Amino acid sequence: MSRVYNFSAGPSTLPPEVLAETQAELTEFGDTGMSLVEMSHRSDEYEAVHAEAAALAREALDVPDDFAVLFLQGGATLQFSMVPMNLLHDGDRAGYVVSGSWAEKALADARIYGDAYAAWDGEPGYDRMPAPGEVAVEDGSRYLHVTSNETIGGIQMWDWPEVGVPLVGDMSSDIMSRPLPWHRFDLVYAGAQKNLGPAGATLVFARDAAIDAARSDLGAYLRYDVHRDKSSLYNTPPVFAIWVIGKTLRWVRDRGGVVAMEVEARRKAGLVYDAIDGSDGFYRNPVDAGSRSLMNVVFRLPSE
Ligand code: PMP
């Protein structure tokens, strides 16, 4: 097989080493006589895989001890609902940085569960992230939601807004690409299929105090505390996705971790931006220089 250059945002390319190792181990896990994907999620073998993946995620991003690492299902899309369902009590408000189509969706779902509003709106154009002072958080706000990388727009947040409330981040398309200032966040989530592994799992990092203060009048699957207290094994987890995420995170660690990933992303994105900027206007990147994404480089052509 000759591998193609796959620029898809997600599901996206995975390290060939990870795919090969998965293939080699797929039919029999260790000497168990069965595949990991056929095995009980309560088995010692699976529980070790599960715990290692969570530990690698924590280690990769230097996640503080007072944050839970959760593997959930439903994609980042379910987090658009779970975040406000859990964090907003009656009367609470929540600000959203509306930076593109993903933030729009997050805000639309939040409005169903609470008094969510646009703390900054990048319409029309969605060609940049806000400068820190531009975000207007209103009284009574529980959190400010940001989309750290707008996948379709190709814009990335480099200055975390300094507001008086904790941040909640949708980091689906730039998780594990740079270190994070955890003291600013109450919760970070990311669907796996872009920077972590195959589709099917969603990684959530949530501050214990935020989980403890969350609503409990929700169905079990929708409660962060249920998942934390059962180490993401309340129900059957997406075992294949978590298994391959663990392999991918080991690959990230062995190549220098997220700091090395950021250096590599700058190098690779730089090649593409240089080609765009050096094309005498044939290719055009519509994003403000300070908000250009290192993950998704978008460009326009002279005509449709
Ligand atoms: N947020 C962002 C920034 C995304 O890029 C995506 C997927 N493209 C989503 C949310 C939705 O994720 P999922 O398909 O995992 O629900």
Query: Rounded to two decimals, what is the model's pTM?
Result: 0.97
- Average pLDDT of the residues in 129-153: 96
Q: Which residues of 145-174 are buried (b: 16+ CB within 10 A; e: fewer)?
A: bbbbbbbebbbbbeebbebebbbbbbbbbb
Q: Which residues have any ligand 1 atom within 6 Å of their CB? A: 10, 75-77, 102, 147, 151, 170, 172-173, 191
Q: Is the pLDDT of residue 1 over 90?
A: no
Which residue has its alpha carbon closest to ligand 1 atom 10?
76
pLDDT digits (tens, 9 = 90+) for 60-109: 999 999 999 999 999 999 999 999 999 999 999 999 999 999 999 999 99
- CA separation for the pair 247, 52 (Å, rounded): 10
The active-site residue, picked from 109, 120, 194, 247, is 194
Model confidence band, residue 132 (pLDDT cutoffs 50, 70, 90): confident
For ligand 1, the distance from its centroid to the CA atom of residue 215, given in whole angstroms, is 25
pLDDT digits (tens, 9 = 90+) for 251-263: 999 999 999 999 9
Model confidence band, residue 162 (pLDDT cutoffs 50, 70, 90): very high
Is the distance from CB of 50 to CB of 233 less than 8 angstroms? Answer: yes
**Which token pair is 43?**
């088995």
Asked about 208 being catalytic, the answer comes back as: no
- CA separation for the pair 17, 80 (Å, rounded): 33
The answer for residues whose C-beta is within 8 angstroms of residue 203's C-beta and 6 or more apart is 57, 69, 70, 71, 175, 189, 190, 192, 196, 245
Pocket test for ligand 1, best of 81, 99, 101, 102 (most atoms within 8 A of CB): 102
Ligand 1 atom, smallest distance to 80 CA: 10
Give CA 216 to chain center in angstroms.
Answer: 25
pLDDT digits (tens, 9 = 90+) for 198-227: 999 999 999 999 999 999 999 999 999 999
- Average pLDDT of the residues in 5-26: 95
Mean per-residue pLDDT of the chain: 97
Residue 124: cis peptide before it, omega within 30 degrees of 0: yes
The active-site residue, picked from 109, 120, 160, 170, is 170
Asked about 102 being catalytic, the answer comes back as: yes
For ligand 1, the distance from its centroid to the CA atom of residue 78, given in whole angstroms, is 10
* The predicted structure's pLDDT at residue 159: 94
Model confidence band, residue 273 (pLDDT cutoffs 50, 70, 90): very high
* The predicted structure's pLDDT at residue 222: 98
Is the distance from CB of 79 to CB of 204 less than 8 angstroms? Answer: yes
Asked about 120 being catalytic, the answer comes back as: no
Pocket test for ligand 1, best of 97, 173, 174, 296 (most atoms within 8 A of CB): 173
The answer for residues whose C-beta is within 8 angstroms of residue 192's C-beta and 6 or more apart is 198, 199, 200, 201, 202, 203, 241, 245
